[in-house]
């Protein structure tokens, strides 16, 4: 049977609580006679409950119901658990105390369950939704003018967590915010929950609900105040990334249609890449000469660089052949945070990862990347300067919708090196391992740039600003392949180890200030 659904049954609980108190008093007294030490929790609980039973207040408010059920479900149960004794003989106080539980349980026709308590929490939010009582008053035990016992901060967190579990994040956040304000205002002294911890909880709830800008707001000040708090700093950094990411998507949505601009760029039939781009720099490397040019529509900031003939036919074949056995279907779901939640397939392709360690032949390409970008590129299992080669092959209509390569938050779960050790993907080097007859260009709708597919070339760009913030202008897409098969390979360069690097000829972007 349930207890929460009527005040009648709740009152029955309340009336029977004095019997529990008597049983506990007897248990403690017997233990004292035996010279046993009394559990601290049990002692403290008895003291407060004795007073509650003595006052015998009626159950009027949902706060009373919550307190009552919480005691029965959690605290009384804990007392019985503490007293539980498998080796005790029949006349020992533990046995007697626990049998009093059984007697009361059968008299009541059951023992209140966690579902009763959870239903009460649900009821509280249902009531709040209709009557809009003040949550800060509520924490102090007050609903309009009706005053009862206040909630402890831990009880408040219990209520907020239950709302979150029930997918009622808005309620949960509002409740935690009320608690935060009360603690900040000093009306809940000696709170075991500190404001930083609470802020982190609220920020993470905002993140889970795709409102990273709210978390940024919340964490910004606190991160400034507590530069030594690593967890807080880390939360703030991740949130910032997520925020920029969500913001970029939002802007894209606002610009009429999620990807109008991207499609237009995909369709654009530009002259050949070489004709448009001017020679920027020439490298004489030991094996192949590399022409270093700016991307088409070169007058853009930030720059996207193009390297021609940067990878030999042999190397192209090696990458393609080594990965073809491993290619797996990769689907990246698009989560259009802010605005509509439209989950669509973001990428249609197959992917494989090739490690420099497993395929030492690749190290040569990796050091070439180091030379042309001036960045550290060595792939290591930990504290890496780059990722393994990601090889992609697109099928009919295969594409990669507009996205940012920067990993922001979710990425620590990605297959690459841990972001906490190796940092974010500060730059992308993307090799073209095939030609494509029609379609398949890489386009950057925000900066109006387009790189058409050419076997042996590589595109290079930075994904973050010098201070590590994500550069949302680098929003880019792989246009659908119309005729042909497109192969590319990414070598993502990580933040780790790049501190004192001065990229050759690539300084312009690094000096580029934020918009």
Ligand X SMILES: O=C(O)CCC(=O)C(=O)O
Backbone angles phi, psi at 442, to 5 degrees: -100, 125
Determine if the peptide bond prior to 302 is cis (ω within 30°).
yes
Quote helix, strand, coil % in the chain, to nearest 5.
Answer: 45, 15, 35
Q: Is 490 in the site for ligand X (CB under 6 A)?
A: yes
CB 233 within 8 A of CB 197: no
Count of H-run helices and E-run strands, the chain = 18, 19
Using the minimum distance from each CB to ligand X, give the nearer residue, 375 or 392. 392
DSSP H helical segments within 34-61, as ranges?
A: 40-55
Q: Is 405 in the site for ligand X (CB under 6 A)?
A: yes
Minimum distance, C-beta of residue 218 to Fe ion, in the bound complex (Å):
30
Q: Write the CA distances from 120 to 2, 20, 159, 174, 273, integer angstroms.
A: 11, 22, 9, 18, 67
Backbone angles phi, psi at 215, to 5 degrees: -65, -40
Residue 171 binds what, of Fe ion, ligand X, none (CB under 5 to 8 Å, by partner type)?
none
Using the minimum distance from each CB to ligand X, give the nearer residue, 252 or 405. 405
Q: Is 392 in the site for ligand X (CB under 6 A)?
A: yes
The region of 41-49, 86-94, 398-406, 503-511 touching Fe ion under the rule CB under 5 A is: 398-406
Minimum distance, C-beta of residue 221 to ligand X, in the bound complex (Å):
35
**Distant-in-sequence, close-in-space partners of 291: CB < 8 Å, separation ≥ 6:** 279, 282, 307, 308, 309
End-to-end C-alpha distance for the chain, whole angstroms: 63
Minimum distance, C-beta of residue 452 to Fe ion, in the bound complex (Å):
16
Residue 442 binds what, of ligand X, Fe ion, none (CB under 5 to 8 Å, by partner type)?
ligand X
Using the minimum distance from each CB to ligand X, give the nearer residue, 213 or 492. 492
CB 68 within 8 A of CB 49: no
Pairing of strands 449-451, 481-483: unpaired
* Alpha carbon distance 104, 85 (integer Å): 19
Using the minimum distance from each CB to ligand X, give the nearer residue, 240 or 476. 476
Q: Is 471 in the site for Fe ion (CB under 5 A)?
A: no
Using the minimum distance from each CB to Fe ion, give the nearer residue, 213 or 400. 400
Using the minimum distance from each CB to ligand X, give the nearer residue, 138 or 400. 400
Cβ atoms within 10 Å, residue 449:
26
Minimum distance, C-beta of residue 424 to Fe ion, in the bound complex (Å):
13
Q: Is 400 in the site for ligand X (CB under 6 A)?
A: yes
Using the minimum distance from each CB to ligand X, give the nearer residue, 124 or 447. 447
Of the candidates 153, 402, 439, 478, which one interacts with ligand X according to CB under 6 A? 478
Using the minimum distance from each CB to Fe ion, give the nearer residue, 171 or 349. 349
Q: Is 442 in the site for ligand X (CB under 6 A)?
A: yes
Q: Map the footprint of ligand X across residues 305-344, applying CB under 6 A.
A: none
Q: Is 302 in the site for ligand X (CB under 6 A)?
A: no
Minimum distance, C-beta of residue 379 to ligand X, in the bound complex (Å):
17
Minimum distance, C-beta of residue 250 to ligand X, in the bound complex (Å):
20
Minimum distance, C-beta of residue 341 to Fe ion, in the bound complex (Å):
23
Q: Is 369 in the site for ligand X (CB under 6 A)?
A: no
Q: Map the footprint of ligand X across residues 43-62, applying CB under 6 A.
A: none
Q: Is 464 in the site for ligand X (CB under 6 A)?
A: no
Using the minimum distance from each CB to ligand X, give the nearer residue, 319 or 392. 392
Using the minimum distance from each CB to ligand X, give the nearer residue, 488 or 506. 488
Q: Is 471 in the site for ligand X (CB under 6 A)?
A: no
Return the axis-axis angle of helices 230-254 and 195-208, rounded to nearest 10°: 30
Q: Is 426 in the site for ligand X (CB under 6 A)?
A: no
Best CA proximity match to 454, nearest among 327, 287, 275, 297 = 275
CB 200 within 8 A of CB 235: yes
Q: Is 387 in the site for Fe ion (CB under 5 A)?
A: no
The region of 21-29, 358-366, 402-410, 419-427 touching Fe ion under the rule CB under 5 A is: 402-410
Using the minimum distance from each CB to Fe ion, give the nearer residue, 70 or 494. 494
Q: Is 405 in the site for Fe ion (CB under 5 A)?
A: yes
Cβ burial, residue 144 (10 Å; 0-12/13-18/19+): exposed
* Alpha carbon distance 198, 470 (integer Å): 27
CB 223 within 8 A of CB 233: yes
CB 473 within 8 A of CB 445: no
* Alpha carbon distance 328, 348 (integer Å): 11
Minimum distance, C-beta of residue 405 to ligand X, in the bound complex (Å):
5
Q: Which residues pair with 418 in a beta bridge?
A: none
| Dihedral of the alpha carbons of 414, 420, 424, 429, in degrees to the nearest 10 | -70
Minimum distance, C-beta of residue 478 to ligand X, in the bound complex (Å):
3
Minimum distance, C-beta of residue 453 to ligand X, in the bound complex (Å):
7
Minimum distance, C-beta of residue 169 to ligand X, in the bound complex (Å):
31
Binding site for Fe ion (CB under 5 A): 405
Binding site for ligand X (CB under 6 A): 392, 400, 405, 442, 476, 478, 488, 490
């Amino acid at each position: 049977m349930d207890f929460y659904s009527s005040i009648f049954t709740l009152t029955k609980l309340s009336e029977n609580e004095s019997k529990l108190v008597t049983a506990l008093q007897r248990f403690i007294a017997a233990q004292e006679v035996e010279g046993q030490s009394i559990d601290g929790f049990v002692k403290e609980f008895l003291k407060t409950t004795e007073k509650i039973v003595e006052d015998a207040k009626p159950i009027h408010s949902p706060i009373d119901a919550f307190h009552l059920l919480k005691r029965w479900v959690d605290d009384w149960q804990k007392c019985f658990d503490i007293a539980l004794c498998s080796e005790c003989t029949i006349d020992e106080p533990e046995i007697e105390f626990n049998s009093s539980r059984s007697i009361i349980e059968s008299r009541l026709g059951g023992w209140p369950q966690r579902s009763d308590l959870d239903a009460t929490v649900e009821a509280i939010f249902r009531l709040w939704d209709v009557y809009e009582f003040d949550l800060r008053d509520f924490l102090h035990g007050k609903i309009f003018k009706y005053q009862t016992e206040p909630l402890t901060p831990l009880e408040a967190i219990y209520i907020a967590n239950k709302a979150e579990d029930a997918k009622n994040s808005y309620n949960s956040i509002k409740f935690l915010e009320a608690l935060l304000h009360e603690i900040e205002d000093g009306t809940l002294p000696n709170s075991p929950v500190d404001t930083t911890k609470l802020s982190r909880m609220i920020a993470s709830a905002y993140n889970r609900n795709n409102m990273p800008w709210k978390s940024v707001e919340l964490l910004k000040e606190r991160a400034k105040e507590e530069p030594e708090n690593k967890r807080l700093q880390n939360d703030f950094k991740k949130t910032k990334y997520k925020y920029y990411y969500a913001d970029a998507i939002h802007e894209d949505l606002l610009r009429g249609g999620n990807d109008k601009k991207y499609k237009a760029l995909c369709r654009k039939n530009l002259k050949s890449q070489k004709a448009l781009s001017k020679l920027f720099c020439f490298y004489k490397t030991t094996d192949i000469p590399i022409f270093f040019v700016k991307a088409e529509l070169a007058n853009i900031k930030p720059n996207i660089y193009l390297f021609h003939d940067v990878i030999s036919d042999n190397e192209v074949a090696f990458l393609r052949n080594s990965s073809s056995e491993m290619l797996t279907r990769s689907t990246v779901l698009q989560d259009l945070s802010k605005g509509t939640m439209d989950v669509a397939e973001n990428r249609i392709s197959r992917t494989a990862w090739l490690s420099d360690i497993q395929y030492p032949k690749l190290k040569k390409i990796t050091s070439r990347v180091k030379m042309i970008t001036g960045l550290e590129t060595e792939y290591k299992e930990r504290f890496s300067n780059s990722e393994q080669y990601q090889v992609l092959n697109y099928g009919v209509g295969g594409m990669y919708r507009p996205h940012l390569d920067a990993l922001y938050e979710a990425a620590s779960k990605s297959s690459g090196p841990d972001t906490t050790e190796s940092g974010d993907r500060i730059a992308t080097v993307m090799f073209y391992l095939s030609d494509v007859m029609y379609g398949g260009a890489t386009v950057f709708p925000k900066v109006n740039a387009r790189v058409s597919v050419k076997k042996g070339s590589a595109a290079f760009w930075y994904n973050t600003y010098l201070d590590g913030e994500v550069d949302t202008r680098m929003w880019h897409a792989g246009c659908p392949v119309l005729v042909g098969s497109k192969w590319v390979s990414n070598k993502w360069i990580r933040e780790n180890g790049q501190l004192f690097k001065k990229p050759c000829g690539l300084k312009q972007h690094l000096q580029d200030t934020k918009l």
